Chains A and B, each alone.
Chain A
């Protein structure tokens, strides 16, 4: 039994049909004297046979094989007939189609967001007057246009306020004592 571990590899290799012919004599000598290894060899052999039988190799009829040969040859011929552009398209497109699609989607999103940002920038930028600003500008222009008039109005308003103050009387336009025929005292 102690020696059995040493022969474990030989046992497996023999069952697989892979034991080196040079190692056979030693292995057979051990086998003759070791019942455990004989049983183990038999058991392993049986096990592998059963596994093999359980899943039988599927067989193809000669007709099926011929059909496959024809199909492959047709495909090869079809490939030969293709132009080089078509060949490249066929090789590249299925492989990179998802990547290309993703890149396109990302580009669309980026450009859409970018456009939105650009529009925002346009609104905030002083160099890009919007319609509102244009409208404000028009109002300003109106103000500037009538600025002189407004100034006059402002002065008139100040004058009116001054006159409206209690105790304020309109100063006489005539020199003192010479109020004339229209003077208050004439009345």
Chain B
């Protein structure tokens, strides 16, 4: 009987909107908490993945840490913005904290080797080049791999803010208003960073992508 009630609860939580789920999570409802995590985990992971330059394990850790922070503090969330905005802000801040920490560590240990390893890891991640036809052609695969490396390098040449905004807009398809809320800066500033980032990437990738 208890199992039936539990499974019913699970199904109910599936149909609840974010606000209702948050209200339940605030009242320590584990089903609602689980549903919130399940709903937002892929997006949190994707954001972290792009922001930490394609490091899969770190992205998983960041997403997990962001959820722990969010659930611990959910009682302080006053629903003035949507849960997604509030939560993505936590994801972005967690990622930025980690990147800062990494930069500090790199400065301390000045690890050139570490950088090399990271690039190698990235190469492994890019297992499938875009387009099915290209997959059969080794030359196309090579070009595609090189191109993706060039894109990553170009992205890393952007300032942290520009990169973050570009990634949230282009890869996560967030609206400028949403990004402004997540980052706590004006829409005008977001637009200007976005234009500059796009322009800078176009300049960097001129030989690679015909524009």
Q: Which residues of A contact B (CB under 8 A)?
A: 9, 12-13, 16, 18, 43-44, 46-48, 50-60, 65-66, 68-69, 71-73, 75-76, 79
User: What per-residue 1/0 map shows which CB atoms of B16-60 lie under 8 Å from chain A?
Assistant: 000000000000001001100110011001100110001010011
Min CB–CB distance B206 → chain A (angstroms): 10
Shortest Cβ distance from residue A65 to the other chain B in the assembled complex, whole angstroms:
5
Question: Is there contact, CB below 8 Å, between A54 and B130?
Answer: yes
Q: Assess whether A16 is in contact with B169, with CB atoms less than 8 Å apart.
A: yes
Contact in complex: B46, A65 (CB < 8 Å): no
Provide the residues of chain A in CB contact with B56, threshold 8 Å: 58
Give the docked Cα–Cα distance between A60 and B49 (Å).
Answer: 12
Contacting pair B170 A12 (CB below 8 A): no
Give the distance to chain B from A166, nearest Cβ to Cβ, in Å: 92
Query: A72 to B64, Cβ gap below 8 A?
Result: yes
- B211 lies within 8 A of chain A by Cβ: yes
Residues on B with C-beta less than 8 A from A76 are 33, 68, 71-72
Asked whether any CB of chain A lies closer than 8 Å to the CB of B128, the reply is: yes
Asked if B144 is an interface residue, CB under 8 A from chain A, the answer is yes
Residues of A close to B201: CB separation below 8 A: 47, 51
Say which residue of A54, A68, A71, A75 sits within 8 Å of B144 (CB atoms).
A54
Write out the residue numbers on chain B whose beta carbons fall within 8 Å of the beta carbon of A66: 38
Which chain B residue has the least Cβ–Cβ distance from A43?
B211
**Known contacts A60-B41, A72-B71, A76-B71; A44/B170 CB under 8 A:** no
Measured in the bound complex, the distance between the Cα atoms of B198 and A47 in whole Å is 9
**Does A58 lie within 8 Å of B49, measured CB to CB?**
yes
User: Is A60 within 8 A of B42, CB to CB?
Assistant: yes
Bound-complex Cα distance A159 to B42 (A):
116
Nearest A residue (CB) for B56? A58
Closest 10 CB pairs of A and B: A53-B130, A54-B148, A43-B211, A54-B151, A69-B37, A47-B211, A72-B67, A50-B209, A57-B46, A65-B41
CA distance A13 to B188 in the complex (A): 12
> Residue of A at shortest CB range from B130?
A53
Q: Could you list 11 examples of A-B contacts with CB < 8 Å?
A: A47-B205, A52-B170, A52-B171, A54-B147, A56-B128, A60-B41, A60-B42, A71-B64, A73-B30, A73-B37, A75-B68
Docked pose: A134 CA to B191 CA in angstroms:
86
What CA separation (Å) do A20 and B151 show in the bound complex?
30
A18 touches B176 (CB 8 A): yes
Q: Do A47 and B195 have beta carbons less than 8 Å apart? A: no
Instruction: Say yes or no: is B96 at the interface (Cβ < 8 Å to chain A).
Output: no
Q: In the complex, which residue of chain B has the Cβ closest to the Cβ of A79?
A: B72
Enumerate chain B residues within 8 angstroms of A48, measured Cβ to Cβ.
170, 198
The answer to whether A55 touches B209 (Cβ under 8 A) is: no
Given contacts A55-B148, A56-B130, A76-B68, contact A65 B42 (CB under 8 A): yes
Q: Which of B68, B144, B191 contacts A72 (CB 8 A)?
A: B68
